[in-house]
Structure 1
Amino acid sequence: MPGVKVFKHVNYLWDDVVADKLAGDEVSLLIYRSNLLGADLRLTNYGGGNTSCKVIETDPLNGEETEVMWVKGSGGDLGSLKKSGLAALYTDKLHSLKKIYRGVEFEDKMVGLFDHCIFDPDSKAPSIDTPLHAFLPFKHIDHLHPDAAIAIAAAKDGKQITHSLFNGTIGWVDWQRPGFDLGLKLAACLNENPGIRGIMLGSHGLFTWGDTAYESYMNTLEVVEMCADYLEQNYGKKGPVFGGQRIQSLDVQKRREQAAAIAPVLRGYCSSETLMIGHFTDDARVLEFINSKDLERLAPMGTSCPDHFLRTKISPLVLNLQPGQDLSDLAALKQQLAPLFEKYREGYAAYYDTCKHPNSPAIRDANPVVILYPGVGMFAFAKNKQTARVAAEFYTNAINVMKGAEAISTYTALPRQEAFNIEYWLLEEAKLQRMPKPKPLTGKVVLVTGSAGGIGKAIARKFIEEGAVALLNDNDVERLNRAAADFGNLFTKDDFVTARLDVTSDADIQTAFDAACINFGGVDIVVNCAGLSISKPLEDHTDADWDILYDVLVKGQFKVTQKGVEVMRKQNTGGDVINIVSKNALVSGPNNAGYGSAKAAQLHLSRLNAAELGADKIRVNVVNPDAVIFESKIWEGSWAEGRAKAYGVSTQELPAYYARRTLLNEIILPKDVALACFAFVSGLLGKSTGNIINVDGGVATAFVR
């Protein structure tokens, strides 16, 4: 009943204090309601659904009052919706389009006419769902894709269940692709069933409404709550969920180990056309499905809701591996996986060839987006981390739908032709063509050692700005936490993750690369930047000084590169190793035996690695900085004092001293080194390996030739 505020299956988030401040501003209340609905993923998916309100505005053309519909525009997400994401249109002009509508075969042409109905020229482009809201007479409307509702909508007996569950107060419209004609069908359903509180769209979603923002919000929650409660009451009545469990999951630690081990291999196959970023989840809902007896029956059927398969492709790839299988033999593993991927690509090509129309866009990437590993978890691969994560979330939604539909009836997926018509819809293709050009490092995963400060932090920041995702790390946890906070203010949660990494620890190195593989699918760029400096006369150097310099700079570079190459070879997509060395690798100076010789070893190790790894398309290059004093941890404490003493100046005079001795008379900053690193990986130097870029302002004695 209206006003009920206690729910079991959805979150009641309405705050009267907040809403009262917005009283009288229906558009602000629409945004508030939309944000609340988008905050509960049980109500709608990321980027899915749309909401609207109709208000009386003054027409700027004639000064008269007119009804304007504000509706979520094309793209965007309800949870983060702002006014700039709304389209504002004249309601009467939208209705006038009925006069010229010529039928379903001309439906796509109607979308261009929505622009002629725009009231606010600064508003968002109208979406294909605009007429669905316009042709219903209610002041506030919610169109969502709740798993609980779609489970009923995708059930074989969905129409009868809807009528029985809601005693005829929820209408039903059979599956039809969104557009002008579906808007007319919704209006017809309302006319045939006056007084209903909503409409269920077969295999698609739910429309609910109200005279106020609050009434619409409450109506939506109540309807979804009833759907979810009905499903819960029926779980187990027909037998075990998904037919019962066929296999048991590995324990959580072993699942993560298996995921980290296989993710780069899967990523390599999925990147045969375009480099992809990965996402892994072993959510309990996913494990219940992928470990079940019904997996082989349900997974190939594909998803039902268009929002789902637009993100996930029509169906996933199911691996035929045992959960605890030994994955260490790469050749044997690839021999087992290669036929699976080839079969999937052939199946997708057949789906395209069977369903295509004369004017269909060319076939897209035939690789799977979602990969299921029974006993371990689910992987998703897409052009960036957010898209991969959202694809995994959508497939989890699809699992929820299949679970609910199977509990109350039999799950039904969209027919392949209908799915194709959505996936290769010319309007969807036009939307894809309008997307901005990818940044140079889009699809790349970078691991920069010592990336919590100084040069390493600048490199990681630059690479993320250019489209990469990064694993931030440092051996100083407090410093790492500060860096994570800084990056959190600059970037999104999908742009980076963190891990403690001491390059002298094999366990830390393994953990860091595992984190990169689990969170992003692998690694493409390794930058060895972690370092320290000790400046002492020869007689003052200790064994401990020597050992830590060589352990961090030389052995650390070797061990991190070794693990990075292992991951890159699994991917078989090439890669980059950049070693931050130093002018001191080439130039002899006083009080510098340990540091300078370690830097020389780093430089020659880089040459050796470049010579060895070329066959794997892994490039190894060097950046030689000098005197990067600002923001650099190595200049804290005795190093600066030692160098100042060696050159006979004060520590305060060091920056100017270093600048004066360069040909360009320049102070070197961390961002200068980052730019040099970017030059190596930006694509402009893709055929260069074994090279050195000096970033030292010009030190003639450090010239390589």
Structure 2
Amino acid sequence: MTNPAVHDLLGRSNRLGADPRNTNYAGGNTSAKASEPDPVTGRPVDLVWVKGSGGDLGTLTESGLAVLRLDRLRALVDVYPGVEREDEMVAAFDFCPHGKGGAAPSIDTAMHGLVEAPHVDHLHPDSGIALATAADGEALTRECFGDRVVWVPWRRPGFQLGLDISAIAEKNPQAIGCILGGHGITAWGRTSEECEANSLEIIRTAEKFLQDKGKAEPFGPVLDGYAALPEAERRARAAALAPVVRGLASTDRPQVGHYTDSDVVLDFVARAEHPRLAALGTSCPDHFLRTKVRPLVVDLPATATVEETVTRLKELHAEYRAEYAAYYERHATPDSPAMRGADPAIVLVPGVGMFSFGKDKQTARVAGEFYVNAINVMRGAEAVSSYAPIDEAEKFRIEYWALEEAKLVRMPKPKPLATRVAFVTGAASGIGKAVARRLAAEGACVVVADLDLQKAVDAAAEIGNSDTAIGVAADVSDGEAVAAAFREAALAFGGVDLVVNNAGLSISKPLLETTESDWDLQHDVMAKGSFLVSREAARIMIEQGIGGDIVYISSKNSLFAGPNNIAYGATKADQAHQVRLLAAELGPHQIRVNGINPDGVVRGSGIFAGGWGASRAAVYGVKEEELGEFYARRTLLKREVLPEHVAAAVFALTGGDLTRTTGLHIPVDSGVAAAFLR
């Protein structure tokens, strides 16, 4: 049975974490202290439950709590070796769990355990960090709160900060919490309700103070030519730039991108003070661990052309990498972890918005959200004072903290297709849907493209949320429709790495009954459609400069001459030769082009359900419901081919084990001797 204190803690945490004004995603931590019977002695034992490392308050559950014995945690004060060795205390937490201990304790565990109050909240609200990063933050805190909230000078999170806050809370019994210089807020209370009320009082009071006291335009006037472009033009510009920016941000390791054109971002990059403020970087550790110490800022107006912006982006990227390497060299010590990469995580483009990057879509999106938090912090600090984040040396100490490195090492190994963005045509049903599902399961972000937008959206929703899959409309026979679908992919994920040409239809008729419109429709969708999709994909992949894969779902019919199949068989042969032609042309760009030749895939197939199955069954003189079995009987393995088998072949080609293979066709037909490759 859940302890009542834990029940209250989870409710409080979820409420606080659900409102972005209170704290950012996965930012901050909460705790509660109470007693439970020791299962060995039966006597009460005092415990502290605290949000574990890496959890999110808004979605916190009991499994995300670390559970420690309070007597043992507080006894660590007696063996604390001092601030120069405080990192050793994190390992000491391993000797304090109650039972299995729950989640891994975070670096802030000491703060929660050493403060006497039964309930403690540590949060990262924009309003609180604005005061914490103001040049005269201590005086402003006194002016805003009187003695109800106490100022704590900057100190890196850890055991000593826990001791500092505990001492301040004890010396100031009238205080409900504190502002942590450069960092955030901490509040406490006798009950969970009181603690939550105190947290909200600090946050809302700070918000009102900044609003009432702050000046109207803290970022200065709008610069000529820097105002936001009209929405349609802005998004078209962003889609054009995204693959270039993503390629630059992936110089050291592949990244997934996210695009933001919120009013907060567009206003910031339009204002006169944005270059100065952006150069100062973020302050709250939760922010810069995700955004890096500072963003890359394009120093051109929105009126610049795409070509001018691309040229300048490449110059600025080279400068950024050199500056980041110099930052590392300035502060690294012999025991510092190796430099993790010199590419920016945040790229700001006036008039267009912000591109953010990470190891997956969620990480990229959250990095962007954190930079929005940072803009709000800078606005608040500049409104009442001047923005003064923690200094560069302190940022480096945290960014390259041994404890942060240990956290990275503990993370699970990425899936084979992590960081890759897949674009699958005809993906709302049949083979395409199975391919999309398999690629997502292997770690890819997936764009489900289909002629029917609603079916594409529904299929994407079955795969996961928008961090994993999106649905887009794509008439592959229309060049502009194809380009528009790829623009959506670029805006969603930064670009495209893996394209599967699967869209198709089948018309089964004898030669003399095949009309020109039958022929044209068949070739428009599959031959022309594959060409249009591959052309747009190749353009984006070349701009990214990080290689890619194009896979054609062709057919055994590209080789096997069956009856009453002239239009379908001819267009499949066209697709098969496109594979060879494009493999030869795109190889220098590290773009691999391969094909898959399935036998008839009956189950789950939109093509077969749409009439093709009945036509082929009539040709072969079998019942339509027996067609899959009929196809299986004529193969060497006597096994039916399913959509999942084709999806497995796509993964085999793109999952990392066949990196030196291009121009290949893989049969997935259970063995059709007449379709053997020669």
TM-score class, shorter-chain normalisation, is over 0.9
1:567 to 507, 523, 540: 540
* In structure 2, distance between residues paired with 1:269 and 1:478: 34
Counterpart of 1:627 in structure 2 is 600
The answer to whether residue 222 in structure 2 is matched with residue 245 in structure 1 is yes
Counterpart contact for 2:545–2:589, Cα < 8 Å: yes
2:496 to 523, 545, 561: 523
Counterpart of 2:143 in structure 1 is 164
The answer to whether residue 617 in structure 2 is matched with residue 644 in structure 1 is yes
* In structure 1, distance between residues paired with 2:109 and 2:196: 19
Counterpart of 2:525 in structure 1 is 552
The answer to whether residue 281 in structure 2 is matched with residue 305 in structure 1 is no
Counterpart of 1:48 in structure 2 is 27
* In structure 1, distance between residues paired with 2:557 and 2:170: 82
The answer to whether residue 409 in structure 2 is matched with residue 436 in structure 1 is no
Write out per-residue CA displacement over residues 191-248 of structure 1, whole angstroms, 9 at most, x where no aligned residue.
Answer: 22122111110011111122222221122112111101111113325xx230121121
Deviation at 1:423, TM superposition (A): 0.4
* In structure 1, distance between residues paired with 2:301 and 2:239: 15
Counterpart of 2:195 in structure 1 is 216
Q: Specify the code of the residue in structure 2 equivalent to 1:548.
A: L
Counterpart contact for 1:23–1:29, Cα < 8 Å: no
Counterpart of 2:45 in structure 1 is 66
SS in 2 for 1:636: helix
The answer to whether residue 364 in structure 2 is matched with residue 388 in structure 1 is yes
TM-score (norm 2): 0.98
2:100 to 112, 121, 125: 121
* In structure 1, distance between residues paired with 2:234 and 2:161: 45
2:506 to 517, 521, 533: 533
Pair 1:390–1:478, CA change in 2 (3 A): closer
The answer to whether residue 213 in structure 2 is matched with residue 234 in structure 1 is yes
Counterpart of 1:584 in structure 2 is 557
2:569 to 586, 590, 596: 596
Which shows bigger deviation, 335-344 or 439-448?
Answer: 335-344
Q: Specify the code of the residue in structure 2 equivalent to 1:601.
A: D
Q: Specify the code of the residue in structure 1 equivalent to 2:58.
A: G
Q: Specify the code of the residue in structure 1 equivalent to 2:381.
A: A
Deviation at 1:504, TM superposition (A): 1.3
2:636 to 646, 660, 663: 663
Pair 1:234–1:287, CA change in 2 (3 A): farther
Write out per-residue CA displacement over residues 610-657 of structure 1, whole angstroms, 9 at most, x where no aligned residue.
Answer: 111111111110000111001100001321121111111121221111
* In structure 1, distance between residues paired with 2:610 and 2:205: 66
Write out per-residue CA displacement over residues 229-271 of structure 1, whole angstroms, 9 at most, x where no aligned residue.
Answer: 111113325xx23012112110111110111001100111111
SS in 2 for 1:243: coil
Task: Give the 5 Å matches for 1:406-485.
Answer: 406-485=382-461
Q: Specify the code of the residue in structure 1 equivalent to 2:99.
A: D
Counterpart contact for 2:555–2:598, Cα < 8 Å: yes
Deviation at 1:60, TM superposition (A): 2.3
Counterpart contact for 2:151–2:181, Cα < 8 Å: yes
Count residues in correspondence. 676
Pair 1:622–1:265, CA change in 2 (3 A): same
SS in 1 for 2:549: strand
Counterpart of 1:697 in structure 2 is 670
1:344 to 297, 320, 341: 320
Deviation at 1:333, TM superposition (A): 5.6
Task: Give the 5 Å matches for 1:286-325.
Answer: 286-325=265-304
Counterpart contact for 2:122–2:185, Cα < 8 Å: yes
Counterpart of 2:477 in structure 1 is 504
Counterpart contact for 1:87–1:120, Cα < 8 Å: no
SS in 2 for 1:120: strand
Counterpart contact for 2:458–2:471, Cα < 8 Å: no
SS in 2 for 1:87: strand
Deviation at 1:457, TM superposition (A): 0.7
Pair 1:672–1:24, CA change in 2 (3 A): closer
Percent identity reads 49
2:15 to 21, 25, 36: 36
Which shows bigger deviation, 637-646 or 368-377?
Answer: 637-646
Deviation at 1:481, TM superposition (A): 3.5
Write out per-residue CA displacement over residues 251-300 of structure 1, whole angstroms, 9 at most, x where no aligned residue.
Answer: 11111011100110011111111111000101101111111100111111
* In structure 2, distance between residues paired with 1:555 and 1:453: 21
Q: Specify the code of the residue in structure 2 equivalent to 1:252.
A: E
The unaligned stretches of length 5 or more in structure 1 are 1-21
Counterpart contact for 2:475–2:482, Cα < 8 Å: yes
* In structure 2, distance between residues paired with 1:478 and 1:94: 55
Deviation at 1:122, TM superposition (A): 4.6
Counterpart contact for 1:172–1:189, Cα < 8 Å: no
Deviation at 1:23, TM superposition (A): 10
Q: Specify the code of the residue in structure 1 equivalent to 2:391.
A: P
Counterpart contact for 2:504–2:607, Cα < 8 Å: yes
Q: Specify the code of the residue in structure 2 equivalent to 1:32.
A: G
Deviation at 1:510, TM superposition (A): 1.4
* In structure 1, distance between residues paired with 2:459 and 2:321: 42
* In structure 2, distance between residues paired with 1:477 and 1:269: 32
Deviation at 1:24, TM superposition (A): 6.9
Q: Specify the code of the residue in structure 1 equivalent to 2:498.
A: I
The answer to whether residue 66 in structure 2 is matched with residue 87 in structure 1 is yes
* In structure 2, distance between residues paired with 1:249 and 1:334: 18
* In structure 2, distance between residues paired with 1:526 and 1:326: 29
The answer to whether residue 247 in structure 2 is matched with residue 268 in structure 1 is yes
Q: Specify the code of the residue in structure 1 equivalent to 2:174.
A: G
Counterpart contact for 1:538–1:593, Cα < 8 Å: yes
2:334 to 353, 358, 367: 358
* In structure 2, distance between residues paired with 1:542 and 1:496: 38
* In structure 2, distance between residues paired with 1:241 and 1:366: 31
Deviation at 1:480, TM superposition (A): 2.1
The answer to whether residue 81 in structure 2 is matched with residue 102 in structure 1 is yes
Q: Specify the code of the residue in structure 1 equivalent to 2:118.
A: K
Counterpart of 2:650 in structure 1 is 677
* In structure 1, distance between residues paired with 2:112 and 2:448: 45
The answer to whether residue 235 in structure 2 is matched with residue 256 in structure 1 is yes
* In structure 1, distance between residues paired with 2:63 and 2:452: 42
* In structure 1, distance between residues paired with 2:480 and 2:311: 29
* In structure 1, distance between residues paired with 2:262 and 2:74: 46
